[in-house]
Chain A
Amino acid sequence: MPIGAVIEFTNITKRFGQTTAVNDLSFTVEPGRVTGFLGPNGAGKTTTLRMLLGLVAPTSGTATFGGLRYRDLTRPLHTVGAALEAASFHPGRTAAHHLGVYTTAAGLPRTRVAEVLHTVGLADHATQRVGGYSLGMRQRLGLAYSLLGDPGVLVLDEPINGLDPEGIKWIRGFLSSMAAEGRTVLVSSHLLSEVQQSVDDVIIIAKGELVHSGPLSSLDTNIAPQVIVDSPDRDALAAALTNAGLAFTSGRTGLIVAVPDPGRVGHIAFTAGVELNVLHRQKAGLEDSFLALVEGGDSL
């Protein structure tokens, strides 16, 4: 059973001319868990992953697997499997030949080609030229490449892009099972909802900087809950809230009051003699917390 290594980013920075794509990023990714690496498009996710894999040279800082830089790994494909966003295939080569080339380069047994193609569900298309592949099939082939060395660490850039619903369901289960085997799984996405069901930890970056890291549940408390309240006589309700000194905004389903306690709002309405037909607490979704983090940049 392959053992996952800890991925560690230490003060990693990348500048392209005047633009700073990634700024002083430090975080660790633990084995045995699926870690979501999240941020809007252009946040620097791909650049960060490419620095981790030795494809892009950092301006400063380091990224390591169990303390070793990618290029210092003695058997890189055995240690780390990576699938990056770009479609990196020669269109005239078949899927089996594509994988065969890199199996040879890494000194892996040829039998791995058929095995990984079977794992990702491309066994029937092994001898088809990649030029005729759909986006979803290319994603699966990229994933097959990452699995060639049966690595303890998986680094996947936007693996869900272009997959059909069945494929999405499959990859979610796949990621969880890989982590359950003790592997380190780092998955990037620009949508939290895409990976929400399968990630244990989240690393969120925006504009090249870290804005949040921690278990998925840590996102829960990031935005204070609000109370939604409505009345057949909304003007009277608004007057009562104003008299009580509570700030509120008008929403489609009622007034949104910026307090966490529905009881207090109910009490105000009761003492003012205003009839209520809606009163409940609304908890912001994880996606809202995520969006607030990447847009506002104000973390807790």
Chain B
Amino acid sequence: MNLILRPVAAEFSKILTTRMWWILALVLFGYIALLAGGLAALFGGLDSGAISPDAMNTGGGSAGLSGLGSVPPLIYSFAASVGYVFPVLLGALATTGEFRHQTLTPTFLATPKRGRVLGAKTIALFVVGAALGVVGLAASVGIGALVLGGFGVDPLLADGETWALIGRTVLAMALWAVVGVGLGVLVPSQVASIVIVLAFTQFVEPLLRFAAAFTQVTADIGKFLPGAASDALVGASFYTLASPGGAMLESWQGGLVLLTYGLLATGFGYLTSWKRDVT
């Protein structure tokens, strides 16, 4: 048992003894709090009449606002649908940092079974990703519900479905950290890895998901994109709202697809970089 617990404990200690984890957690919290708080204020304001619907150009779509019951989950889901880039980054930095700072040498000297180290890193990052999920939710649910409540909108915190969404969000964030580990070991160059994370999550994938929604065939493929899978797992998101007719995976399927991305990348990375000579 010690054979896997010790490396896992070592991986936790690697993350907690550098500054990156709390910097990312802080930025995640601030970013999501701003988005969730802002949007909650907008919807809450519209609902309570504090903001007149005439004050904004609704494009004739003001009817969409009548079903305000769906607003709280949408706001809460920001923790994952926007915040997922943070666990991916932390996971990618955890692996690429080992290559960059040549800490693979002391790591493999202490634990010569390399597969065990990678497994330990995956487990540790899964847990840390879940913790980032809790931070993101503290922002999206904490601030979001506070603002909604302030406008007299029911934040649905007594609703079991809200708490199920919170649980699925934590799981999604944990899985994203695992995807990050996989990416980092697949692309050991830290700069390249970060560029890929940012370009893919902020630009390439949103574009692909938008484009995929145009035809049925591409939509069926598009629902397997990692971000789409994550949204399916969480069960509510911006994108699903933006493309109402869009195909979606079942929640459990989304989680499985995301996990598969993470494990495939980690497996290939193990073969292409982790097992190689450390010079």
Contact = CB atoms under 8 A, between A and B. Distances in A.
Interface of A: 46-47, 50, 53-57, 70-71, 73, 76-77, 80, 82, 84, 86-94, 97-98, 100-102, 104-107, 145
Interface of B: 2, 6-7, 9-10, 13-14, 17-20, 97, 101-113, 277-279
B17 A100 contact: yes
A87 B102 contact: yes
A104 B109 contact: no
B112 A102 contact: no
Given A97-B13, A106-B110, A50 B101 contact: no
B243 to A, nearest CB: 42
Nearest to B7: A105
Contacts of B14: 90, 101
List of 4 A-B pairs having minimum Cβ-Cβ separation, nearest first: A105-B10, A97-B17, A71-B112, A105-B110
Contact of A50 (B7, B111, B279): B279
B112 A76 contact: yes
A84 B17 CA distance: 23
A11 to B, nearest CB: 19
A290 B137 CA distance: 67
B161 to A, nearest CB: 41
A120 to B, nearest CB: 15
Given A88-B103, A90-B97, A56 B6 contact: no
Nearest to A155: B109
B6 A92 contact: no
A7 to B, nearest CB: 15
A107 B2 CA distance: 8
B10 A55 contact: no
A90 B101 contact: yes
For the residues of A in contact with B, the DSSP-based class is: mixed
B18 A90 contact: yes
A101 B104 CA distance: 12
12 contacts: A46-B279, A47-B279, A55-B108, A70-B112, A73-B112, A76-B110, A77-B109, A87-B102, A88-B102, A100-B13, A106-B6, A145-B106
A86 B7 CA distance: 23
Contact of A102 (B97, B107, B277, B278): B107
Contacts of B17: 93-94, 97-98, 100-101
B26 to A, nearest CB: 16
For the residues of B in contact with A, the DSSP-based class is: helix
B110 A102 contact: yes
Given A56-B278, A91-B101, A105-B111, 17 more contacts: A53-B109, A55-B108, A56-B279, A76-B109, A76-B110, A86-B105, A88-B101, A88-B105, A89-B101, A92-B19, A93-B18, A97-B13, A100-B17, A102-B110, A105-B6, A105-B110, A145-B106
A107 B103 CA distance: 18
B94 to A, nearest CB: 11
Q: Which of B10, B105, B106, B113 has the most CB of A within 10 A?
A: B106
Contacts of B2: 107
B18 A86 contact: no
Contact of A105 (B101, B107, B278, B279): B107
Contacts of B110: 76-77, 102, 105-106
B107 A86 contact: no
A87 B13 CA distance: 20
A90 B103 contact: yes
A46 B108 CA distance: 16
Contacts of A47: 279
Nearest to A81: B109
Contacts of A70: 112
Contacts of A55: 105, 108-109, 277-279
Contacts of A56: 277-279
B112 A54 contact: yes
Contacts of B277: 50, 55-57
Contacts of A82: 109
Nearest to A56: B277
Contacts of B107: 102, 105
A223 to B, nearest CB: 35
B100 to A, nearest CB: 9
A77 B277 CA distance: 20
Contacts of A93: 17-18
Contacts of A88: 101-106
A87 B104 CA distance: 11
A106 B108 CA distance: 11
